[in-house]
A and B are shown apart, each in its own frame.
Chain A
Amino acid sequence: MEDIRTGVYICHCGLNIAGTVDVEEVANYAGTLPAVVVARHYHYMCSDPGQALIKDDIKNLGVNRVVVASCSPRMHEPTFRRACQDAGLNPYLFEHANIREHCSWVHDDKRLATEKAKDLVRAAVRRVSFHEPLEIKERPLNPNVLVVGGGIAGIQAALDIANGEHRVYLVEKEPAIGGHMAQLDRTFPTLDCSECILTPKMTEVGQHPFITLLAYSEVEEVVGSVGNFKVRVKKKARYVDEEKCTGCGVCEEKCPWKVDSEFEMGLGKRGVVYVPFAQAIPHVATIDKEHCVYFLKGKCRACQKFCDAKAIDFEQKDEIVELEVGSIILTTGYDIFDTRRIQQYGYGKYDNILTGLEFERMTCAAGPTEGKVLLKNGQQPGSVAIIHCVGSRDENYHEYCSRVCCMYALKYAHLIKELTKAEVYQMYIDMRCFGEGFEEFYRRVCDEGVNFIRGKVAKVTDVALTEDEQGRLIVAAEDTLLGRMIRVPVDMVILCPALEPRSDADGIAKLFTINRRADGFFMERHVKLDPVATATEGVFIAGCCEGPKDIPDTVAQASAAAAKALSVISRGRVVIEPTTAQVNEVLCQACGRCEEICDFHAPKIISKDGLRVSSVDAALCKGCGACAVVCPTGAMSVRHSTREQIKGMVEALLEV
C-alpha cells in the first residue's frame, strides 16, 4: 500500500480565524496526528503564497494528501483542489476543514473554539487518508440556451446570446412577450416611454434568426445537467394557426363577446379571440377557450367566418416540443401583491382606488382612457393620494422593500401634475431614491409642489366627519413628523403594492432544482459574488424572479446571466463529476434496491458475463447517496463519500 503523507495547513484568514482560534496550537497539534508529515499555519491560505506552500510541499516533501483548515468548502474547495492539481496531485486527495463559518465566526470562547478546530482538523486528516484519486472526464456540450420568461429580462438575455450566434429557445407562458414592462406607460426617472424602448427589442426577438420563440408555452419537465439538459415544453393550443395568422385583428372585431382585458388591468375590454396589445410579439390572435362560446355551447364561429387567412383552427391540440440545451436562464419575473388582502385600504370596496399598474394603463395614451386621468364619473380628480409600501416593509405581509415603488410614486406625482393640476399627497414611510438620476428626480417633483406626508396609512374610508370630507375618500394616517393622526380627503387613491414572487415560483424552483430564499424569490449562489448563478450548475436567474428591481438593474442582471451562459458555451465541454455511485460487482446480489430507490434511474440490474449485477449510468447519477444507504451488501458506494471516509470522520471526531 501507498505510504500516506499528509500536509495540513491552518489559515489565519487575517483575524477572522486567528482572532478566535489559536492557529499555532492547532498546527502543532495537527503535526502529531498519524501520517501528517508537515503542518503549517499561514495568514491567507487562498493567496498565491499560501497556495505555493501546498504546491512546494507536494513537490519537495512528497506530500500526497492535503488538508486545509480555513473557510467553508463552498467557498474555496475549488481553489485548493486546483492548487493540488497544479502540483501534480489528484485534486480529490484534498479535504477541507471548515474552521471559520462553523467555528471561529460562531464562537467567542477561544479555548473551546481552538479545541473544536482541533477536532475538525483531526476528522479531516483521518478522512483524507481514505481518499482515492478520481478520474475527471469531460464530455461535449450542447450550446443551445433555454430562456424561460419573456419579460424585459428574458428578452435582453435572449438577444445577447442570439447576437453571439447561438440558438436560444425563449419560452413565454402568455400569448405575447413583454411582461410587465409592456404595460408601463413612462419609466422613471427619465420618463421615456416604455413601449417605445421595448417594442424594437420585442420585434428583434420575433425576427431573430437565432431565436426560436415559443409563446403561450410552458416547461413541463427538465432532466439532465449542465451541458446536456433535455426539456419538454407544452405549446398550448391557441386555436389559431400562427403561420397563417396575419394579426389583422378582424376576428377580434367580429367576436360578439367581450371580456376584461388582462393587459388593461380590467380597465378595458378585449374580444374572446384577441391580440393582447397593439405591439404584441408574436403578433397573432389567441382564442381564450375558457370564455369562447363555441367551446362552451358549440355555436358561434364568427371569427372563423371572417378570417381571410383561414387561420382559425378549432381542432388545434396542445403540442409537445422536446428541446436539448446546455444552459438555462430563468426570467419569470414577479406578481403584484393582492391589495384586497389589506381590507382597511378599501381596494375593491370603493371606487377610484387604483393600483400602480392600473394607473400605468390610465396614463398611457394607447390605454383605456386614452391617457386621461379620470374618476369613475368621467371627471378629473382635484386631489390624489399615493400610498407607498402596500404589503412591503410590513411584517404582516412582506418584510422587504420592493425597491421600485418610491420612484414610480414620484413618477405618478409628476404625471398627475402635468395632466390634471390636482393636489398630490405622497404618503410614505421613507423615500428611497438611490439610483442614477433618482435623487435629482425626487428634487424635481418636490419643486413641482407635491405634498409629502411621512407615516404609515391606517385606513382609507368614505365615512366623512366634516363637510369637506363628504363624498370623498379619506386617507387616515399617522404623520410621524408632526406626531399626530391626520385625515386627508381626496378624490382618488393610488396604492403601490409590493412586488412578490410568482404564485408558481415554488413549482418552477423544483422543476429546475434551484432554491428559494425565505422571502420566496429565487436564491442566488452567492449574494455578493455570484448573484446570477444558482445552486444548480448551468441554471441562471435574472430580473425580478430574483427579487424586486427596476428595469436598469433587470437588464444588467439579464446581460450578466447571458454572459454566464456564453461562458459555458465557449468552454465547449463539461466536466463530468466523478463523485458518482459505483458498484462492487463481487458483493452485489442484484437485489435491485438501488434501482428502486434512485430518483434518477441511474442504477440498472444488467447481465454481465452471465451474471446479474447492478450498473450505474454515470451520466444520470447525481451522487446523492440514497442507493448506498439501502444496499444491503455494501456493494454500492458513492465515490468521495464512501463508508470508510464518513466512518473515519465520525470515529476521529469522537476520539479523546
Chain B
Amino acid sequence: MSFEPKIVGFLCNWCSYAGADLAGISRLKCAPNVHIIRMMCSGGISPFFILKALEAGADGVLICGCNLGDCHYREGNYKTIRRMTLLKKVLGQLGIEQERVQLHWVCASCGDEFVDVVNRMTADIKELGPSRLGVKSRDLTR
C-alpha cells in the first residue's frame, strides 16, 4: 500500500476554519490526509501541541491562520510567525525536516487556496516519507 501521511491541521476559527468549511460547501476535493483541530486563533497554538503531534506520530503538522492584518485578535498571527521561526530551528536540531511543519494563511473566502495547501502539503510529505520520529515513538509504545 502506498504511504498515506497523517497530518494534523491546527486552524484558527475565524478565517482558516471558515475557509476549510467553504472548500466543503463548494464541494472542492482534496487529499484526505489532513485532520483538522479547531483553535480560536493561530496565536494560541502552542509549540507544545506541534511537538506533541510529531512525537505521537504525525508525519506533518499544518498551521493555518488569518492573513496578516486580519487576525480576529488583532496580532495573533504575528505571534505565530515569531514562534514558528524559533520552532523551525528547534526542529532542525531534532533532525526533523522543516517541510513537516508548515504555516499558511487561509482567509474565510479562500476555499480553493485551502484545498491547494492541503494537496501540496500532502504531496510534500509523501515525498519525504514517514516521519522518523513517529516511527520511533510508535515502535517504542509497541
CB of B64 to closest CB in A, whole Å: 13
Given contacts A513-B72, A515-B107, A518-B109, contact A625 B52 (CB under 8 A): no
Contact of B109 among A105, A517, A623, A629 (CB under 8 A): A517
Q: With a CB–CB cut-off of 8 A, which chain A residues contact B45? A: 625, 629
CB of B115 to closest CB in A, whole Å: 7
- A244: Cβ under 8 A from any B Cβ: no
CB of B25 to closest CB in A, whole Å: 6
Residues 40-98 of B at the A interface (beta carbon under 8 Å) = 40-41, 43-49, 52-53, 56-58, 66, 69-70, 72-76, 79, 83
Given contacts A101-B24, A624-B76, contact A650 B29 (CB under 8 A): no
Task: Give B106-123 as 1s and 0s: 1 = Cβ < 8 Å from A's Cβ atoms.
Answer: 011110000100000000
Whether B27 contacts A105 by the Cβ 8 Å rule is yes
CB of A561 to closest CB in B, whole Å: 20
> Could you tell me the distance between the alpha carbons of A342 and B128 in the complex, rounded to whole angstroms?
47
Contact of A654 among B27, B56, B73 (CB under 8 A): B56
Q: With a CB–CB cut-off of 8 A, which chain B residues contact A622? A: 72-73
- A258: Cβ under 8 A from any B Cβ: no
Contact of B17 among A74, A517, A628, A655 (CB under 8 A): A74
Residues 9-59 of B at the A interface (beta carbon under 8 Å) = 13-15, 17-18, 20-21, 23-25, 27-30, 32, 35-41, 43-49, 52-53, 56-58
- A406: Cβ under 8 A from any B Cβ: no
- A237: Cβ under 8 A from any B Cβ: no
Whether B29 contacts A515 by the Cβ 8 Å rule is no
Count chain B CB atoms within 10 A of each CB in A74, A653, A655 and give the residue with the most: A653
- B8: Cβ under 8 A from any A Cβ: yes
> Could you tell me the distance between the alpha carbons of A112 and B21 in the complex, rounded to whole angstroms?
19
Whether A647 contacts B39 by the Cβ 8 Å rule is no
Whether B73 contacts A624 by the Cβ 8 Å rule is yes
Whether B52 contacts A535 by the Cβ 8 Å rule is no
Residues 618-656 of A at the B interface (beta carbon under 8 Å) = 622-626, 628-629, 638, 641, 643, 646-647, 649-651, 653-655
> Could you tell me the distance between the alpha carbons of A72 and B79 in the complex, rounded to whole angstroms?
27
Q: With a CB–CB cut-off of 8 A, which chain B residues contact A649? A: 37
Minimal Cβ-Cβ distance residue in A for B72: A513
CB of A518 to closest CB in B, whole Å: 5
> Could you tell me the distance between the alpha carbons of A423 and B137 in the complex, rounded to whole angstroms?
81
Given contacts A123-B35, A651-B52, contact A106 B30 (CB under 8 A): yes
**Among A113-121, A166-174, A198-206, A414-422, the stretch in contact with B:** A113-121
> Could you tell me the distance between the alpha carbons of A510 and B24 in the complex, rounded to whole angstroms?
27
Whether B39 contacts A625 by the Cβ 8 Å rule is yes
Given contacts A623-B40, A653-B8, contact A506 B32 (CB under 8 A): no
Whether B44 contacts A535 by the Cβ 8 Å rule is no
Residues 532-552 of A at the B interface (beta carbon under 8 Å) = 535-536
> Could you tell me the distance between the alpha carbons of A377 and B18 in the complex, rounded to whole angstroms?
56
> Could you tell me the distance between the alpha carbons of A428 and B15 in the complex, rounded to whole angstroms?
37
- B6: Cβ under 8 A from any A Cβ: yes
- A573: Cβ under 8 A from any B Cβ: no
Given contacts A116-B35, A535-B72, A626-B43, contact A106 B28 (CB under 8 A): yes
> Could you tell me the distance between the alpha carbons of A599 and B70 in the complex, rounded to whole angstroms?
14
- A555: Cβ under 8 A from any B Cβ: no
Task: Give A33-70 as 1s and 0s: 1 = Cβ < 8 Å from B's Cβ atoms.
Answer: 00000000000000000000000000000000000000
CB of A648 to closest CB in B, whole Å: 10
Contact of B108 among A523, A623, A641 (CB under 8 A): A523
> Could you tell me the distance between the alpha carbons of A600 and B43 in the complex, rounded to whole angstroms?
14
Closest 9 CB pairs of A and B: A625-B44, A101-B24, A105-B24, A624-B73, A624-B41, A654-B56, A101-B21, A629-B46, A626-B43
Given contacts A101-B25, A105-B27, 5 further A-B contacts (CB under 8 A): A74-B18, A513-B74, A600-B73, A624-B40, A654-B58
22 residue pairs of the A-B complex, CB under 8 angstroms, read A74-B18, A102-B20, A102-B36, A105-B25, A106-B115, A109-B32, A515-B14, A515-B15, A523-B109, A535-B108, A536-B72, A625-B39, A625-B40, A625-B41, A626-B44, A626-B79, A629-B45, A641-B44, A646-B37, A647-B49, A651-B52, A653-B37
